Amino acid sequence: MTSPPITAQAQTPAPQTTPVRGRRRLRRLSRRDIPVLVVLLGIPVLLDLALIWATTVASIGLSFTSYNGVTAIKWVGLRNYEQIFTIYLPFWTAVRNNLLWLGVLGLVATPLGLFFAVLLDKQIRFTRVYQSIFYMPVVLSLAVVGFIAQLIYSRDYGVLNSLLGRGSHPIDWLGDSKINIWAVLVAAVWRHAGYVMILYLAGLKAVDPALKEAAVIDGANERQTFFRVVFPTLRPINIIVVVITVIEALRAFDIVYAINSGRNGLELLSVLVTANIVGEASRIGFGSAIAVILLATSIGFVIAYLTQIIREDRQ
């Protein structure tokens, strides 16, 4: 799981003794510096171009073929896309699930994270302990989370069913395709909330106390202070959080794969890609088309994020 960092500016620009941004005097290079530059800059650039961008472009190209990895590549135009949209059974379930994932992360996990951040910003004891606990699920390997999910949700021996006392009519939390996505989403929220919390905590800390004090003097209560004064200044962080949430929702893969290989109600676009190209199937053209669909949905947000970066950079 990777994500972009937040680049929120300090809310109260402190006095600067040197112009740190905007006007940089970039040095010219001496002759002996050029090889160093070429090698040490060139390698990562090449790696990035080759392994990340070139492969992405290649996938886009492959999506218009019926390549199966072994025999020759055959151009089929939009046929893969047509099949995906019309007859590929798991596709729409996957789309639904990705949207659900997005909705739950955005409407439940993110506000929850913000809520935790606000609570923990209140100068209480043990704030570090609480933060660590809420953030802890983020560092857990998702394969482990998948196992824990089995432990809790299993129909025959899971803890949840025994807690609910449903001996004779156990609920099949993971096997019932009508409800298993929700069971998994609980785990997703468990992870995402802590992540969002940390981001907002940093932003809240940067809020100038003078602003809050002014609001209090003007007679605002706590909620008004927060929503009318503090929250608007968190705008840069909000944008980052939105982007992260979207990217995570679209990129979700590990936990459903660890639970049941992403089948039977737990389909996700990312899993469908791997099922078609990594499994026995080897329908590479077809799988690449699904990957391109996934890419297309992410692109909008990538651009939004980049716009934010560029805009900040110009300040």
Tell me the closest approach of the beta carbon of residue 78 to other proteins, in angstroms.
Answer: 14
Contact range with other proteins by CB under 8 A, out of 101-109, 223-231, 288-296: 288-296
The answer to whether 277 and 283 have CB atoms below 8 angstroms apart is yes
> For residues 227-286, which are near other proteins according to CB under 8 A?
237, 243, 247, 250-251, 253-254, 257-258, 260-261, 263-265, 267, 269-270, 273-284, 286
The H or E element spanning position 221 is: none
Quote the Cα angle for 178-179-181, to 5°: 105
Tell me the closest approach of the beta carbon of residue 14 to other proteins, in angstroms.
Answer: 6
Contact range with other proteins by CB under 8 A, out of 99-107, 187-195, 223-231: 187-195
The answer to whether 237 and 8 have CB atoms below 8 angstroms apart is yes
Question: Which residues, other chains included, contact 127 with Cβ-Cβ below 8 Å and sequence gap of 6+?
Answer: 120
Tell me the closest approach of the beta carbon of residue 163 to other proteins, in angstroms.
Answer: 6
Phi, psi of 219 (to 5 degrees): 95, 15
> For residues 101-140, which are near other proteins according to CB under 8 A?
119-125, 127-137, 139-140
CB-count exposure of residue 148 (10 Å: 0-12, 13-18, 19+): middle
Cβ count within 10 A of residue 136: 12
Q: What is the CA radius of gyration of the chain?
A: 24
Tell me the closest approach of the beta carbon of residue 107 to other proteins, in angstroms.
Answer: 19
Query: Per rule CB under 8 A, is residue 66 in the interface with other proteins?
Result: yes
Query: Per rule CB under 8 A, is residue 29 in the interface with other proteins?
Result: yes
Tell me the closest approach of the beta carbon of residue 228 to other proteins, in angstroms.
Answer: 21
Contact range with other proteins by CB under 8 A, out of 84-92, 99-107, 225-233: 84-92
- Nearer to other proteins by Cβ, of 27 and 219: the residue is 27
Quote the Cα angle for 246-6-4, to 5°: 50
Query: Per rule CB under 8 A, is residue 89 in the interface with other proteins?
Result: yes
